[in-house]
Structure 1
Amino acid sequence: MDISVLGDIATRIDGRPVDLGHPRGQSVFVGLLTDANRPVPVDELIERVWGQRPPEKARPTLYAYLSRLRAALGPAGRAAQVERQTGGYVLTLNEETTAAVDLHRFRELIARAGRTTDDGKTLALLDEALSLWKADAFGALDTPWIGRLRETLGRMRLLAQLDRNDLLLRRGRHQEIFSSLRSLAQRRPLDERVTGQLMLALYRERHVAQALDCYERTRQLLAQEKGAEPGSRLRDLRLRMLNADPSLDTADGPATAVGPRTAVPGEPGRNTLPASPSLLVGRTSALAELDAWRSTAPSPVVVISGLGGVGKTALALRWAHDNAAQFPDGQLYVNLQGFNPVVPATRPETVVRDLLSALGVRTRAIPAGAAAQYALYRSLLARRRILLLLDNAHDVEQVRPLLPDSATCRLMITSRNRLEGLVGAEGARSITLNVLSTEAARQFLTVRLGDRRTSAEPDAVGAIISRCGKLPLALAIATARSMSRPHVPLSVLAEDLRPSNTRFDVLETGDRYTSLRGVFDTSYNALPPDSARMLRLVALAPGRDFTPAVAAALTGLPPARSEELLSNLESAHLAHRTSPGRYALHDMVRLNATERSAGHQPAQERSAALHALIGFQVRTAAAAHGVLNPCVPSSAAIADVPEDATAPPADLDQALRWFESECHGLPQVIRLAGQMNLRLEGWRLARDIHPFLRRGGHLHDLLAVSRAGLEAAMALDRPGVESLRSSARRDLASALLLADQPSEQAVDQLCQALTYFEASGDLFGQARVHQELAAAQLAGGRRSEALGEAVLSLKLCEAAGDAAGKADALTVLSQCLAGMRRYEQAESRGRAALEACRSAGHPDGEASALQALGHIATGAGRPLDAVEHHGDALVLFRRLRDAPGEADSLSGLASAHAALGRTRPAGDAWLQALALYRAQHRDARTRETEERLRGLPAG
């Protein structure tokens, strides 16, 4: 198998081209290929293919592309397979295929070239790497993610070209690159490194005037475009040309615009770096970013920031050691102790004296004043190739006085804070280090514990990774604990890590410098009081992420102030944005903040914050429900409580977006309300999110929430509680029917609800229950009973004056008649239902009526009419983002196509329906659809 993406995308199996289909399908392929043999989460893959704003049904569309990709790669067998794993989808390539992918081969060759000190071998590796390129990567594909990746790879290609030029110039082979350098300089007139290379080649060809003209053009362009002068490297090269420096003519002279290599005072090339880390996994992209910074970044400063324990120092040290040869005049290290729990942060005045000593200045020769010391420090760095690593910085003011004024030096800074002042004011490159991917964390454990132990207990390994939050320090402590107990199963450690309230105790080392709790304590202690309070309170919020509005509810602060404090936490890497307007805490940060809250926050204040949060979510859900389901009474109306003053969402899309963003946390809010004896709030929230969960096909959550709502209603003791309980029973029955649960369970709940509605004379409630009973009887195959329930529901709706309910009842009646093969009557009722829905402004009912008409047409032997009805229903269900309705319409559409002998459209529609049924865990429909797909004729 052969795969090429450094140019147009081309894939061949046994020499035959593979058709990867539509550009979106090719984007799916590229999205998996770049992380071959590692799972890519579904949400991340969707973003890679469609960007930040994917279409409404990106997920089922993605499944369809993946299915076609599997088929396209099928002839490759084990050489290339698309598989679903726990962490997402993975393109599994065997060793031979991986080596044949030009992208991976290019990356490997560049990495090897960076580690090789022999110029001849380096040149050969760079030549081979550059020969893999045919054109710009990924051909005509154009998505935001592919654009960023194309740009990154383009930078790597350029750096490789420039490194190759340096090597050839160093060997006196300037004539080989003369033409390409001229072309490159025309394309990159502001690139001082390219200009320097061309100047040197021109000078060696005795075109001194042209070399100086080249400098002058770049100088003028820099002044016009950036208001800047050329850097010291280029200025120095020009001066040496004017002085006819003889070293410029020698093959072993300077290869770029760097002056002669002169050692700093004292020991030449002094190295004070600590040892390189023995293990570094999952940091390939970060190392590549540092490579790009070294070669092309206009600023000599890079800030590596991230959560405490994420491995910033390990990354910096590995890169520093791997690139030591690029800094022959020295590699210097200082620990600034910015977050040391015992030692105060080192002041810059102390650091500069230490650096002067490391640079060979005798103590007696160090000036007395700080200004003079900084001036001497910068003068010693000028025109020298030195790497400085300032580790564990606390803030900008600790490092700003130590910034070099030299284009030849490089300064790396690690910090738990973003040091945004350096990035904004000084133009420093910023690299944020995140926790490891699941695959990298697994590799971390495997390297330390051995493949035999980890492969023997894969579930335990996964649990350890999850409970350590994929944080390198936590994983290192956990593996050290296992290594000291080689005969104890990993499952024991995984079980020890299960309780969140004792997890820090299990991961305690007894060493204050490596204590995991200590790492987070020092980050917390560095926060201002209002930011610390914000962190303590948002750690109490249920769900995996939250909005500034939720933070404002918890803290009682205005939204703008909450947003400001969350930004402060983000700058300190104690919170991170999961998407625009949403924040999350790393598990370890949350645990530490929860400990702090329990220890330092009065119980009354924590309780008040949670009460406020629950009240906020109840009010917002009720407002969104009113927009989403205007024909259905709100929870406030059923409970006979005052309507909330919360402003409703502007439209249906906004209401759906709110529910979609909050749906993972709202079930936990319901449980929290139960724990705090806020039964009415728990019932209200369950009631108001029920239609969204049903519409979105979140059946597991729908069942859980429906049961929680009924449990809350049963525990209530207030006037009118039976109305709440009956409403909750009807919601649970609806969920049971949608989830294909035994219809008897739904009938039992509905009959109990009906008893109350009849006793109270609630015609609306009776009518709706009879509709659900008709659906339950129909699902159970009891068609005559279903018809009776549907007729009764219609009469009750007419008596209650419920126009939307009447329209729905007509739809149910048409379904019952169709089940009895009375198609003419069924169609008459179905068309009446459709007209009634349109008159009542009831789009949900309109979609259901169209779907019913589609099934009726299929049963009556009119498949062309069925295609039209199901197609119209599909459009409407998609606009309403009703996933179960969409799946059923696709299935009906497929049946109609199959009846017409249209095998391909039928197969496509059933494949899309199958993906939706699987995502909704509708097992019976999934099996039925799989059977229908198997029954389709070939082709």
Structure 2
Amino acid sequence: MTAVPISFDIRLLDTPRVTLAGREIALGAARRQAVFAALVLNSGRAVPRAELIAAVWGEDPPSSAMGNLYTYVSALRRVLEPGRDRWSSNTVLTSQGGAYRLHVRAEEVDVHRFERAREQSRSFRASGDARSELAALDAALAEWQGGEPLAGVPGPHAEAQRVRLGELYLASTERHAELMLGFGRAAEVTRPLLDLAARHPTRESLHAVTMLALAAEDRADEATVLYTELRERLAESGTEPGAAVTRIHAQLADDAARPARPRSPVPPRHAGFRGRTATVARLRQAFTALADGGHGGSHWIRGEAGIGKSALLAEGLRDAATAEVQVGWGVGDEPDRGAPLSLLPEFLPRDAANDLLASLYAAHGTMPPTMAVIDAVKAFVTARCAERPVLLVLDDMQWADDTSLLVWHALHELTDRLPLLLVSASRPLPTGHEMRLLRRLLPRTGATLIDLGPLDDPTATDLVRSWTLRADIDQGAVRSLVAAAGGNPFYLRHLVITERQGLSADTPAPELIEAVYRHLRPLTDDTRQLLHAVAFLGNNYRIADLSAVTGKPIPALVPFVEEAMTAGVLVEDGHRLRFRHPVVRQVLHGAIPTALRVTMHRQLAQRIAEAGGGLSRVAGQLLAGPVPIDAWVEQWLTANVEQLSVTVPASAIAVLRHAVSSPSLSPPSRELLAGQLRRSLLRAGLIEVTGPGQPSVPDDEYSAVR
């Protein structure tokens, strides 16, 4: 007998609702809904119990969390499969190896339908099909009913998803409005945009498109008032409106009806740009040669995420906004990666590129052949170079599709005979076949490869001083921020913001966590898992330590270590490895809920000890939690306390203090360890001998050794 498939309609873009075979079912209590939401948004993936507990309870789960989770899962199984016999196997919510998996189809979940339609809109945008892009965005936004995603659902996972989905909704709405304005339909979007702007009073991109909609309806005065209100709100936090919205306001002041002047493709300079003097000079010289004599060339800037490539481009090519040079400036976007021809409308002037793509699609009916695209773009750029010199900039090139990269290579071959300057910037990862091919070929054929390294400490210190709002921030705090960022200005800025909020990298703000996780996203799952394990080892470790804590042989770990080094996350330090930016380790460690951190440190301590790791490594794990004194810890300490006190006396004192204050320590072990602590304190000069064999114990030490 063939089983009838279960049909769900799951809605999370409002108060969670589930319809089973046309009838709504009750999900139950709020935390049960939180478990369900975490499973839905990870549908098709096995979600470990520890991850679900962290998703629902966060940093400090109660001791009853595991039992409650079992209860919630059992209740969810009953409501999701109401007709299932109690002795038969689950098919919708299954478990295996300490994890749960929810089996629902993507089309049954409104979040997945929204994200799929949004991805389709990007593909249409890449092909220049504005009408199909608008239709796809209509379908995506139709999934929203006007409420808040996961309304009423508790827990850090639900909160993070509310922020993520809310951001995607706003970005989709803004792009939808831009398209509607392009089709002369401003009247249909102005009122909803004004309502959204009132709910998000400091979101500049939303205010920008709302101002354009008002201007299109001959309501320029209202647009000016909207800008003034935005500027006043931003001034309260010590900032000013960005270049895009300021430019629209300036255009409105020139022409009260609507902006008329063409937008400069050159992005605004980054306020307070510092350092990179030689590289900035090299870019300016290249551009000056192009503008003055028509001499072309090709420059490729490579550097890790957040190292300042975009700021460097804006600073080094800032004169392009005023010179008599035709400029195309494109920026790759991670969600567009792999979409055919995704970057052609970006680094070529948009209107001309859209016409070019439209003619190619019209001539070939479907996706045009790669050579047809290359020939058409080469002809287009050659014709433009006959008019005036051309500068094409492609930032975040790592997100380019293969066809766009092949086009870029073909254009590079023109730079030795045309007034054409190509400037690109990319991260070392991700990198596909075509990117690796470019990396080998372009330097051999005349391209200048610039590897952008970390900022030096004086420049980083200057930046901290310019960004912080506290005039009294002490030099020690500045040095700490500079050291944690490791020369990465993006991390440095987020650390300054975190410091303003009274937090630190060890207790990171959500924005800092998201910044680090976004940079690690292109790495393979195995490499990311390795980095999470590494974050618990300390600041400096050997691959042998990794082998001990992961249980994998060293040869199996080498590819993942190499990938992390290529990405600039790990660096060699003699015979050891360390995180290039300490903030990455601090975030990976600090973002884990406290209870889970303690458990992981306890497990790593035992694994290192069993693998023959150094005593200081084991002690470091015991102190990092700090790990409760259980039977294994007690046995390890009593067996190794004398050697530990000799080899690493400071760590020994700290571990022994922690141990002897533990109520779970057995009396014989307490006597042994307390005696060793007295001797260690005496050798360290922290207690004095007042008589023959009688140490004098200061008050602050007495409670630890009595």
Q: 1:433 to 1:633 in 2, by over 3 A?
A: closer
Using the size of structure 1 for normalisation, the TM-score is 0.39
Query: Which of 495, 515, 518 does residue 430 from structure 1 map onto?
Result: 515
Report if aligned partners of 2:119, 2:335 keep a CA contact under 8 Å in 1: no
Confirm or deny: 8 A CA contact 1:2 1:12 kept in the other structure.
yes
Unaligned residue ranges in structure 2 (runs of 5+) = 1-7, 268-286, 316-331, 350-391, 399-407, 430-450, 464-483, 498-511, 532-549, 602-607, 646-651, 674-706
Structure 1 pair 123–313 and aligned structure 2 pair: CA distance change class (3 A): closer
Counterpart pick for 2:32 among 25, 28, 34: 25
Counterpart of 2:92?
Answer: 81
What letter corresponds to residue 35 of structure 1 in structure 2?
Answer: N
8 A Cα contact 1:272 1:332, kept in partner: no
Distance in 1 of aligned mates of 2:208 and 2:333: 33
Letter in 2 for 1:104: H
Q: Report the 3-state secondary structure (helix = DSSP H, G, I; strand = E; otherwise coil) of the residue aligned with 2:10.
A: strand
CA displacement 1:172-217 (0-9 Å, x = unmatched): 1101112112222222232222222222222222233333333333
Q: Which whole-Å CA distance do the structure 1 matches of 2:554 and 2:35 have between them?
A: 41
1:63-82 per-position Cα deviation (integer Å, ceiling 9, x unaligned): 12111111111147799710
Q: CA deviation at 1:240?
A: 2.7
User: Of residues 158, 164, 187 in structure 1, which corresponds to 2:176?
Assistant: 164
1:397 pairs, out of 436, 444, 455, with: 455
CA deviations on 1:107-158 (whole Å, 9 max, x unpaired) are 1111111221211111111112112122111121121221111111111111
2:142 corresponds to: 131
TM-score, reference length from structure 2: 0.50
1:265-302 Cα deviation digits (max 9, x unpaired): 899xx99999xxxxxxxxxxxxxx99xxx9xxxx999x
For the 8 Å contact 2:14–2:148, the answer to whether it is kept is yes
Letter of the 2:515 counterpart: S
The change in CA–CA distance for 1:238 and 1:80 in structure 2 (over 3 A counts) is farther
Answer yes or no: is the 8 Å Cα contact 1:435–1:470 preserved in 2: no
For residues 609-758 of structure 1, the aligned pairs below 5 Å read 610-611=614-615, 646-648=656-658
- Cα distance change, pair 326–188 in 1 and its aligned pair in 2 (3 A): farther
Deviation at 1:521, TM superposition (A): 9.6
Aligned position for 2:216: 204
2:132 is the alignment partner of 1:121: yes
Residue 107 of structure 2 is aligned to residue 99 of structure 1: yes
Give the conservation status (yes or no) of the 8 Å contact 2:455–2:487.
no
For 1:439-478, what aligned pairs fall within 5 Å after superposition?
none
Distance in 2 (CA, whole Å) between partners of 1:111 and 1:48 is 27
**Structure 2 CA distance for aligned equivalents of residues 521 and 129 of structure 1:** 37
Match of 1:43? 50
| C-alpha distance 332-206 of structure 1, shift in aligned 2 (>3 A) | closer
Q: Which structure would you say has the larger RCO, counting Cα contacts within 8 Å and 6 or more residues apart?
A: 2
More helix by share: 1
Tell me which amino acid in the other structure corresponds to 1:221.
R
Alpha-carbon contact 2:220-2:256 (below 8 Å) kept: no
Q: CA deviation at 1:610?
A: 2.3
Sequence identity percentage: 20
Query: How far apart in 1 are the matches of 2:60 and 2:221?
Result: 54
Tell me if the contact between 2:347 and 2:394 (Cα under 8 Å) persists in the aligned partners.
no
Distance across 2 between alignment mates of 1:64 and 1:202: 54
**One-letter amino acid of the counterpart of residue 213, structure 2:** A
Q: Relative to 1, partners in 2 of residues 1:69 and 1:568: Cα closer, same or farther, differing over 3 Å?
A: same
CA distance 1:65–1:322, change in 2 (3 Å):
farther
Distance 1:143 1:168 in 2: 37
SS at match of 1:113: helix
Instruction: Please give the alpha-carbon distance, in whole angstroms, between the structure 2 residues aligned to 1:188 and 1:22.
Output: 31
Tell me if 1:140 matches 2:152. Answer: yes
Whether the 8 Å CA contact 2:486–2:582 is kept in 1: the answer is no
Residue 332 of structure 1: aligned partner? 394
Residues 299-325 of structure 1 deviation map (CA, whole Å, 9 limit, x = unaligned) = 999xxxxxxxxxx99999658974654
Matched residue SS, 1:430:
helix
Matched with 1:588 is none
Return closer, same or farther for 1:271/1:2 CA change in 2, 3 Å cut-off.
farther
| Distance verdict in 2 for CA 1:390–1:398, change over 3 Å | farther
State which of 186, 196, 210 in structure 2 corresponds to 1:184: 196
Q: Cα deviations across residues 789-822 of structure 1 (Å, max 9, x unaligned)?
A: xxxxxxxxxxxxxxxxxxxxxxxxxxxxxxxxxx
2:521 and 2:223 map into 1 onto residues whose CA distance is 48
Q: Which residue in the other structure is 1:421 paired with?
A: 489
- The match for 1:226 is 238
Unaligned runs of 5+ in 1: 275-288, 302-311, 337-353, 367-376, 381-385, 404-415, 442-464, 473-496, 508-514, 536-564, 586-593, 595-605, 660-682, 689-939
Q: 1:273 to 1:684 in 2, by over 3 A?
A: same
Contact 1:327 1:387 in 2 (8 A): no
CA distance in 1, matches of 2:197, 2:23: 40
Secondary structure at 1:227's aligned position in 2?
coil
Secondary structure of the residue aligned to 1:240 is helix
- Residue deviations 1:312-342, cap 9 Å, x none? 9999965897465455455526999xxxxxx
User: Secondary structure, in 3 states, of the residue corresponding to 1:11?
Assistant: strand
What CA distance in whole angstroms lies between the structure 1 residues aligned with 2:238 and 2:348?
Answer: 31
Contact residue 618 and residue 684 of structure 1 kept, 8 A: no
- Change over 3 Å in CA distance of 1:627–1:207 after alignment to 2: same
Q: Secondary structure at the match of 1:12?
A: strand
Alpha-carbon contact 2:56-2:157 (below 8 Å) kept: yes
Give the whole-Å Cα distance in 1 for the aligned partners of 2:31 and 2:642: 51
Q: Is 1:70 aligned to 2:70, yes or no?
A: no
CA distance in 1, matches of 2:566, 2:424: 31
Q: Distance in 2 between matches of 1:650 and 1:166?
A: 67
Matched residues in 2 for 1:40 and 1:313: separation? 29
RMSD: 6.3
Aligned to 1:554: none
**Conserved? CA contact 1:7–1:139, under 8 Å:** yes
How many residue pairs get aligned? The number is 456
- Give the corresponding residue for 1:149: 161
Distance of aligned partners of 1:323 and 1:226 in 2 relative to their CA distance in 1, 3 Å threshold: farther
CA–CA distance in structure 2, aligned partners of residues 523 and 582 of structure 1:
28
